[in-house]
Amino acid sequence: MPIFTDETIYEIFGSVDAENENPDRLKAYFFRNRAYHNLKADLPIRILVGHKGVGKSALLKICHIEDAEEGFLTLWIRPNDVFSGIDLEASSFLALVENWKVGLSTLIVKKSLEAAGLFEEATSVNPITGGVRHLLSSLGKHFKSAEPSLDDEGRKKVHDFRLGQRVRIYLDDLDRGWQARPSDIQNISALLNAVRDMAGEDDKIQFRIGLRTDVYHLVRTSDESTDKIESNIIWLIWSNHEILTAMAKRVATYFGEAVDEKKLISMRQKDIAIKMNKVITPVFEGRGKWEREDTYRVLMTLVRKRPRDLVKLFYYAAKEAAIDDSQIIQSGHLQRVFEKYSNERLRDVINEFKTELPQIEDVLLGMRQTAKEREAGVGPVFDDGQIYSKLQGVITSLSLNFTNGERVTAQNLARFLYKCDFVTARFEKDGYIVRKHFEENQLLMNTRAQFGFKWEIHPAYRWALEPQSVNTLLSKIELSMIEE
């Protein structure tokens, strides 16, 4: 049984920052879902879109590692590399797209030379104009002239380039510093147009890009030309079943167990959860609706279809177990971290979407249940009329404006909260609660059509919004339906 030191917690449950994860550990526990196979397709452009915490960086990183192992010349480019090396001042949008093409071409040559250990040559690269053919020609000439001085790793990079004449470029975390300003939207739009032009000129240059959902939506609705890259979009969407499988694989591989991923995901959730029994109690000693329930159902109720949420819950609870010198996470350890977990998830959604609605924190706090609503049984589950009425009251008490200039109404604010995963659509089935998220069905929150769903403030935020009810929330929140 493990002793929950900080190092052990990291090794068991994995890093929350895949970019800095140990490559061998990442390869051991990584769960390959449908998005993985779509990203691996031999196509010039793949754009991975998803919320924060869904594993975009992990997926891009594992594909980058595997590309190198499979003989591709593959480059991992950081945001500071991109934005510091490209002239973002231009007199027109077309000129900005051209600046991106020149900047990316030059950066690709520089990073390729650095990957081969040719750091001095990389500093002397002149701006690459004239398109992808000039890029490939310049790179070939640099490699040829420097080849006699290369070490084994450098020769491998040259060999990979010559063998496939293909360079695969990974661009992640481009939303760092994103503020949803017109200039931010224009720059990402210009980048996507430049990538499309370059890949269209020669498919030997291939791009793999990660974008946050909110960034993509703003760019997509602001620039009609982005409809041409829509076929290249890969939505990274998880089911709770996949998230549970991914965590079970992390725990099992830590203990040295060989995992057949296809067999594991085909199992019932109750059986998948058994693989986590070495680190967490299988039965939750709660109260009310949570009394003597399977622990995995408690965990799945609290995650927002984002793997990082589950990693965070395990991190927090394992640290509580360490305080008690316990070698297994008990129910009490989980209960002690629910408030912290909830506050952090509320802060997540504020940070992620404040660029679209600067006053989002006031809106979310305004969704707290009042004493009058509690007496009337209104909230945190609402029907259509109740949620619009609640939001109209929030709008009346605040001065609200979307960053894009759209007027805030109860209807578009409700849809915004649905998009943020702050509220979920829900219905009852066989005595259990089924929760639907925006990525699963964007049309449910529609003023022109009612589908019979109710709207619920996601359980992940309930402790943050009801701090006076910390000890009674377990008797109020209904567990999610088991996904078989």
3-state secondary structure of 83: helix
CATH topology of domain 34-235: Rossmann fold (3.40.50)
For 182, counting Cβ atoms within 10 Å of its Cβ (0-12 exposed, 13-18 middle, 19+ buried), the class is: exposed
C-beta of residue 50 within 8 angstroms of C-beta of residue 237: yes
Which residues 6+ apart lie within 8 Å of 80 measured at CB? none
**Residue 451 confidence (pLDDT):** 66
Determine the Cα–Cα distance for residues 270 and 268; give it in Å rounded to an integer. 5
* Tokens encoding 140: 């070939």
**Residue 484 confidence (pLDDT):** 42
Angle at alpha carbon of residue 306, lines to 264 and 329, rounded to 5°? 70
Q: Which of 299, 304, 335 is nearest to 317 (CA)?
A: 335
Determine the Cα–Cα distance for residues 149 and 133; give it in Å rounded to an integer. 26
Per DSSP, 482 falls in state: P
Three state DSSP letters for 345-364: HHHHHHHHHCCCCCCHHHHH
E-strand spans in 21-78?
Answer: 45-50, 73-77
Render 396-423 in DSSP notation, one character per residue: HHS----TT-PPP-HHHHHHHHHHTTSE
3-state secondary structure of 90: coil
Three state DSSP letters for 106-137: HHHHHHHHHHCCCHHHHHCCCCCCCCHHHHHH
C-beta of residue 178 within 8 angstroms of C-beta of residue 191: no
Determine the Cα–Cα distance for residues 420 and 354; give it in Å rounded to an integer. 10
Helix pair angle (240-254, 307-323), 10° resolution: 50
Within a 10 A sphere around the Cβ of 467, how many other Cβ atoms?
13
The β-bridge partners of 426 are 435, 454
Assign residue 285 a region: left if phi > 0, alpha if psi is -120 to 50, beta otherwise?
A: beta
**Residue 165 confidence (pLDDT):** 64
* Tokens encoding 206: 């291939």
Angle at alpha carbon of residue 278, lines to 272 and 282, rounded to 5°? 60
Q: What are the average pLDDT values for consecutive 10-residue runs of the chain, which has 484 residues?
A: 90 84 90 93 93 92 92 86 79 91 91 87 87 85 81 81 79 80 87 92 91 86 78 92 95 94 94 96 83 90 93 96 96 94 96 90 94 88 92 92 87 93 87 82 67 88 85 77 58
Pairing of strands 233-235, 45-50: parallel
Determine the Cα–Cα distance for residues 21 and 61; give it in Å rounded to an integer. 9
Determine the Cα–Cα distance for residues 286 and 63; give it in Å rounded to an integer. 41
E-strand spans in 16-114?
Answer: 45-50, 73-77
Going from N- to C-terminal start, the domains of the chain cover 34-235, 240-475
Render 279-294 in DSSP notation, one character per residue: TB-SEEE-SGGGEEEE
Helices (H) then strands (E): counts for the chain: 22, 11
Determine the Cα–Cα distance for residues 15 and 23; give it in Å rounded to an integer. 11
At position 474, the amino acid (one-letter code) is: L
Alpha helix (H) ranges present in 116-223?
A: 119-123, 132-146, 152-164, 182-201, 213-222
